[in-house]
Amino acid sequence: MSTQTPGLRESKKRETRQLISDHATRLFLRQGFEATTISDIADAARVAKKTVTNYFPRKEDLAFDHHEEFTAGLARALTGRAPGETALAALRRAFLGAAARQDPVAGFAGADFTRMIADSPTLTTRLRDLHDLREEALAHALAEATGAPGDDITPRAAAAQLAAAHRVLFRRIQELTLAGRAPGEITALVSADATTVFGLLEPSLGDYAPA
């Protein structure tokens, strides 16, 4: 029987998970995602392969360690909007805040990590899947926020447009990163781009789903 308290066990689990993630990232950057095996990661972290897969069922999860935060991000921004704030305004504010913080979840992952994604067909495909999951979560949140019936396509259509704006800006951050632009310069450029991108949605979604 374990003598560890629940809090200590959870702390130990978090430490182990972070250790595995850190070693995986180091190996991915050094030798490429496709060339790195679960055995390589387990050996580097000095844990069993089963331990790695218990924490990270998919190898891609080791690269996109914050995938749950990413997929829930737009829905969370919607539910956290201020009274009277529309969905478009809330999501624009969330993006600008992430750009100002140079948040890795928004795409500010650094040149080496961004290049690793671009060079890996597996990670590129997984990133598209995560964008789709993020859009789906936003559609559910919009349907709940507006009380739309199940057969109403409006929340899905709105989510597709709003998520596409974030997808375009995410890709823009990646492109600027790979072009060697400094993080501060990228923030300034994508913040200006955001004005254009979200402005295009104003005629159709400017008054949609106020809190």
Give the model's confidence band at 10: pLDDT under 50 very low, under 70 low, under 90 confident, else very high. confident
Question: pLDDT for 136-151, tens place per residue?
Answer: 999 999 999 999 998 9
Q: pTM score, two decimals?
A: 0.89
Residue 96 CA to residue 121 CA, distance in Å, equals 29
- High-pLDDT (> 90) share of the chain, %: 91
* Cβ-based neighbour number of residue 14 at 10 Å: 10
Give the model's confidence band at 9: pLDDT under 50 very low, under 70 low, under 90 confident, else very high. confident
Is the CB of residue 41 less than 8 Å from the CB of residue 58? no
Is the CB of residue 80 less than 8 Å from the CB of residue 210? no
Statement: residue 66 has pLDDT above 90? no
Q: Would you tell me which CATH number, out of the four given (3.40.1280.10, 2.70.150.10, 3.40.50.720, 1.10.10.60), belongs to the domain 6-59?
A: 1.10.10.60
Query: Which sequence spans correspond to the domains of the chain?
Result: 6-59, 67-205
Is the CB of residue 183 less than 8 Å from the CB of residue 102? yes
Q: What is the mean pLDDT of the chain?
A: 94
Per the structure block, which two tokens stand in for 142? 């919009």
Q: What is the pLDDT of residue 196?
A: 97
Per-residue pLDDT averaged across 185-208, rounded?
Answer: 97
Statement: residue 102 has pLDDT above 70? yes
Residue 87 CA to residue 1 CA, distance in Å, equals 51
Residue 52 CA to residue 41 CA, distance in Å, equals 8
Q: What is the pLDDT of residue 4?
A: 62
Per-residue pLDDT averaged across 15-29, rounded?
Answer: 94
Give the model's confidence band at 3: pLDDT under 50 very low, under 70 low, under 90 confident, else very high. low
| Burial of 73 from C-beta contacts in 10 A (0-12 / 13-18 / 19+) | buried
Can you name the CATH fold of 67-205?
A: Tetracycline Repressor; domain 2 (1.10.357)
